[in-house]
Amino acid sequence: MDDLTIRPVVPGDAPAICRLLNAVDMIEIGRAETDLRSVEADLSHPEAGLPDNSWLALAGGEPVGYGLMWDDSGAERIDMDQYILPDRQDAAERLFELMEAQAVRRAAGNGADRAVVHLHLNAHPTLDTAIPVRRGWRTVRRYHVLTRPLDPAADPAPPLPPGLTLRDCRAEADRVIAHELIQDTFARHFDHQPRTYRQWLDDLGETIDWSLVWIASLDGDGDGKGDGSGDVAVLVTSNHREAQGWINSLGVRERARGRGIASYLLRHAFGVYAGLGRAEIGLGVDTGNETGALRLYEAHGMAQHFAADTWEVTLPVTPAPAS
């Protein structure tokens, strides 16, 4: 189609992008779940670099496609999201061309000799998946978004297990510890990219409520380094989403697993969010997670809302010609 134009995103595009993403949500998952605050947070992220790393496809002045790219690795790994209306696969083709070229440039700028690009798509996307397949992409991982209804009467705050204490992260010192726990407990997870404390704060953004981020500590249980610290688990949640409360991360140090701490923290989140008047809570889980997280969540009444796939392509970086 010859009415297609593509340009970089500007912050003022957030409402139009939100409408586009909700149109995609309606097709892919049956309800609109994208909120404006989340879109604005993506566009205002300090690492966004919108002039080079965002694309808005327009037809007749209305968005029909949107792409965003980021680089958490500082090396060969590049991540991207792409959203497209189903009748504008021509825009998807063009977005792939532009985004793959930028991924190669970013990897080259990081000193890598290839770009390993990940794309995150609903398992039944509006995108015609024949397009990425033709371009050499393949699926490498599946995630489930799980949700659970909440009820204040059915989800009271659980009692603390013996020897366990819980505190929130309103204090800066505890935020630093929460970051360390995230880096430790997720270090072996697929797709985890180490982030500095400052980067982690930027990723959480201004929407985070630190009274809804908790650290669990076991009495007299050191971390194996001789410093006497009993901090063994972290629970990061968000209350800004319009559709539901959200569990961003739940991590337990390997040495403290098998003691029911993850189960307690999950029930704690249920109780808190039920008390806040939320009717539903959700989270995303890697179905290949070797810690058994999926089984844990399902055992506590969480059920699949939808599935999403990580797609991957490896693109060579062409060395710049010698001057």
pLDDT at 318: 83
Q: Specify the DSSP class assigned to residue 210.
A: G
Q: What is the pLDDT along the chain (323 residues), one digit of tens a residue?
A: 568 999 999 999 999 999 999 999 999 999 999 999 999 999 999 999 999 999 999 999 999 999 999 998 889 999 999 999 999 999 999 999 999 999 999 999 999 999 999 999 999 999 999 999 999 999 999 999 999 999 999 999 999 999 999 999 999 999 999 999 999 999 887 777 889 999 999 999 989 999 999 999 998 744 444 333 499 999 999 999 999 999 999 999 999 998 999 999 999 999 999 999 999 999 999 987 767 889 999 999 999 999 999 999 999 998 655 55
Contact status, residue 303 vs residue 148, Cβ threshold 8 Å: yes
The rounded distance, in Å, linking the Cα atoms of 91 and 119 is 16
pLDDT at 322: 54
pLDDT at 290: 63
Bridge partners of residue 312, in order along the sequence: 118, 138
pLDDT at 250: 96
Helix pair 14-28, 36-44: axis angle to 10 deg = 120
Contact status, residue 163 vs residue 219, Cβ threshold 8 Å: yes
pLDDT at 224: 42
CA distances from 124 to 52, 129, 286 (A): 29, 9, 17
Burial label, 192 (beta-carbon count in 10 A; 0-12, 13-18, 19+): middle
pLDDT at 228: 34
CA atoms within 13 A on the CB side of 58: 12
pLDDT at 61: 92
Residues in the chain: 323
pLDDT at 320: 59
Measured from the Cβ of residue 110, the count of other Cβ atoms closer than 10 Å reads: 16
pLDDT at 188: 80
Tens of pLDDT, residue by residue over 130-148, are 999 999 999 999 999 999 9
Helix (H) or strand (E) run with residue 81 in it: strand 77-84
Q: How far is C-alpha 246 from the geometric centre of its chain's CA atoms? A: 11
Tens of pLDDT, residue by residue over 50-71, are 999 999 999 999 999 999 999 9
